[in-house]
Amino acid sequence: MQIKDLHSWNLTYSQARDCQKSLAPKVRFTPLKQQPRLIAGIDCAFSKNGKKIIAAVVVLKPPDFTPVETAYALRKVTFPYIPGLLSFREAPACIAAVRKLKTEPDVFIVDGQGIAHPRRLGLAAHLGLFFDKPTIGCAKSRLTGYFHDPPPEKGTYSFLRDKKSTKRKASHESRATGDEIIGAVVRTRTNVKPLYVSVGNRCLLENAINIILGCTTKYRLPEPTRLAHQMVGILRLKA
């Protein structure tokens, strides 16, 4: 698949923030036209000494999640840990791993935030612009926004809301509060901590929720990112 070259990764912290602000309005909220035939999961981990980052991508074919292809990449860590700028630390390795794929996924699920980010450009949204493909952020923890706990049963969810940006048209707006709906807090297993799902690019939040729930079997994480997480865990021991 072709991957866009949007910008240099050799940026200062302020340049990185400005880059996020300029890219965020380019995220597209468009409905999926058909069910994805191939779904890829992306996850990252750091080597034990913290000097390298390992990114893995796992491509599966629903509905039985047959393995189709895997790829991974190792890169030196060149950007420090700064809250809100995670994509400048992890995205280059993720892109390098995806470049190795021979198949072309219809949807990417990324272990990270989509637009549920202070500047509306988390890792999944950033990667979604590079891939120009439907991309979903599926994070294990909240980065920004507020919500009410969804009911304890699998398949339930509540909306993740944040103060609406005045510089960017909101993807969704809550009539009750006037705040922007930036994602959903989704219960993927009964009585288990929820996941934080948001649009990365070229899909709607409804699509993202349905795909995450459709990819969740007996585990908390959806199969594509769960298997990518397992893969980077093994690779980390060898890095």
Q: What are phi and psi of 89, to 5 degrees?
A: -95, -35
Residue linked to tokens 């989509």: 114
120 lies in a domain?
A: yes
- What CATH number is given to the structural domain containing 203? 3.30.2170.10
Residues 153 and 165 sit within 8 Å (Cβ to Cβ) = no
Its sign, for the CA torsion 62, 69, 127, 132, is negative
Among residues of the chain, what percentage have pLDDT more than 70? Answer: 94
What tens digit of pLDDT does each residue of 182-205 get? 999 999 999 999 999 999 999 999
163 lies in a domain?
A: no
User: Is the pLDDT confidence value at 30 over 90?
Assistant: yes
72 lies in a domain?
A: yes
Rounded Cα distance, 173 and 182, in Å: 9
The pLDDT, as a whole number, for residue 164 is 74
pTM exceeding 0.75: yes
Q: Provide the domain limits for residue 61.
A: 36-146+199-238
Residue linked to tokens 């795909």: 211
What's the mean pLDDT in 8-18? 96
State the burial class of residue 135 (Cβ atoms within 10 Å of its Cβ: 0-12, 13-18, 19+): buried
8 lies in a domain?
A: no
The pLDDT, as a whole number, for residue 25 is 97
169 lies in a domain?
A: no
230 lies in a domain?
A: yes
The pLDDT, as a whole number, for residue 170 is 47
The pLDDT, as a whole number, for residue 173 is 54
What tens digit of pLDDT does each residue of 213-239 get? 999 999 999 999 999 999 999 999 887
Rounded Cα distance, 81 and 121, in Å: 16
The pLDDT, as a whole number, for residue 166 is 47
**pLDDT, averaged across the chain:** 94
Residue linked to tokens 């034990």: 48
Q: How many CB atoms lie within 10 A of CB 49?
A: 8
118 lies in a domain?
A: yes
Residues 91 and 123 sit within 8 Å (Cβ to Cβ) = yes
What tens digit of pLDDT does each residue of 63-105 get? 999 999 999 999 999 999 999 999 999 999 999 999 999 999 9
17 lies in a domain?
A: no
Residues 115 and 182 sit within 8 Å (Cβ to Cβ) = yes
User: Is the pLDDT confidence value at 167 over 50?
Assistant: no
User: Is the pLDDT confidence value at 14 over 50?
Assistant: yes
Rounded Cα distance, 138 and 118, in Å: 16
Residue linked to tokens 């950007």: 79
User: How many domains are there within the chain?
Assistant: 1
Its sign, for the CA torsion 75, 97, 226, 203, is positive
